[in-house]
Amino acid sequence: MEKKAQSALEYLMTYGWTLIVVAMVVGTLVFIIQPPNEVSFTSTDNEMLLKDQAIVAGGGEDSVTLAMLNATGGGISVTGILGTGSFANTGGAPITVNNEDPASAPVSVGAGSDILIEGIDAPTSGTVGGGVSITYQKRSGIAKTVSIEGTGSFGGGDGAPSGPTGTPEWQTMTIGAGTSNCSDYFNSSYFCSFASNGTAADFGWAGLGTGPPKWIYGDLGENKYVSAVRANLNSSYVPQTMNIDISDDGSAWSTLKSGWTVSTIDWVETSFTETQGRYVRFYITNCARSYCNMKEFEVKTRT
């Protein structure tokens, strides 16, 4: 009996460490093969607080839900919401705010009330960038845009990055004939399409002399990442103040830059958080002459 016990002890001492090492390797392989989602969101505005997030394992359409808190001290109206970068809408149902679509009508949120954002699309693998852009208006009438930024990766980050690639470059945009892409035009010598035809030699676009607000927008042909715009105005039309908006469909707009004033002629540019969209709009709120003008404009994009 003593010899059998001694043999068993010697066996465990000889092969026990091998069994432990094998178990550790198997555990590591399981972790690698089944990596967790490692994506987190943060708010860039201390008046719009992020309370919680819920992400469906593996990402995909409508896989992200965010719980926010209105900490502005008063009631607000959410007027626009847009998925950006890796979280851009892929063509399914719209992102909703408290079960309502702000593209259809502004969503009212009381002071200190919760804001439930649902229907955010996400990639199924790879490193993420972008997030959600929320435009809201305070009771004072001041409009603000807040970015809820997502960082991390789905599937352990082993897939290709799902954010933008390439070097940003300036490009013109397609503008339709007539008033399809602008509020109005003075006559056929000042069509809105003249504002992005690749030349600053002509006068460009001018609206009717009815004063602002006026607007003009262009089409990139597909969703691209936009990080800056530049405008060229005629000398008698400065200063001119504009908001820069972006849209996936040319209907629901989110503001990238508010109150940008161009005070000089020739090219003047402004930049903002890189955001994905197809249509870019210059929404003019004040101009030196009641016609308002855009001699030429371009946007900086990458795919």
> Could you tell me the residue ranges of all domains in the chain?
38-157, 169-302
> Is the pLDDT at 164 greater than 70, yes or no?
yes
With bands split at pLDDT 50, 70 and 90, how would you rate the model's confidence at 163?
low
169-302 sits in which CATH class?
Answer: mainly beta
pTM higher than 0.75: no
| AA letter at 21 | V
Render pLDDT for 37-84 as a digit per residue (tens, 0 to 9).
578 888 878 888 888 888 877 677 878 899 999 999 899 999 989 888
Q: Residue 88 — pLDDT band, cuts 50, 70, 90?
A: confident
Q: Which helix H or strand E contains 12, and what residues bound it?
A: helix 2-33
User: Is residue 225 a contact partner of residue 169, using CB atoms and an 8 Å limit?
Assistant: no
> Which three-class secondary structure state does DSSP give residue 111?
coil
Rounded mean pLDDT, 275-292: 94
pLDDT score recorded for residue 284: 96
Q: Bridge partners of 261?
A: 241
Under the banding of pLDDT at 50, 70 and 90, the label for residue 99 is: very high
Q: Considering only residues 280 and 93, tell me which one the structure prediction assigns the higher pLDDT.
A: 280
Q: Which one is predicted more confidently, 163 or 109?
A: 109
Relative to beta strand 240-247, strand 266-287 is antiparallel
Per cent of the chain over pLDDT 70 is 82
What is the model's pLDDT at position 87?
Answer: 84
pLDDT, residue 83, reads 86
Whether 38-157 and 169-302 share one fold: the answer is no
Give me the pLDDT at residue 7, please: 54
- The per-residue pLDDT for 90 is 67
pLDDT at 30 over 70: no
Looking at residues 166-181, what average pLDDT do you find?
A: 83
The DSSP string of 22-43 is HHHHHHHHHHHHSPPPEEEEEE
Average pLDDT score over the chain: 82
Q: How far is CA 212 from CA 139, 241, 266, in A?
A: 23, 10, 22
What count of other Cβ atoms lies within 10 Å of the Cβ of residue 286?
Answer: 14
- For residue 277, pLDDT over 80 is answered with yes
Among the residue ranges 24-28, 64-68, 196-200, 289-293, the one predicted with the least confidence is 24-28
- Measured between alpha carbons, how far is residue 93 from residues 88, 96, 166, 284 in Å? 12, 9, 29, 30
pLDDT at 184 over 80: yes
- Beta bridge partners of residue 87, listed in sequence order: none
Lowest mean pLDDT among 23-27, 211-215, 237-241: 23-27
CATH number for region 38-157: 2.60.40
Whether the CB-CB separation of 109 and 117 falls below 8 Å is answered with no
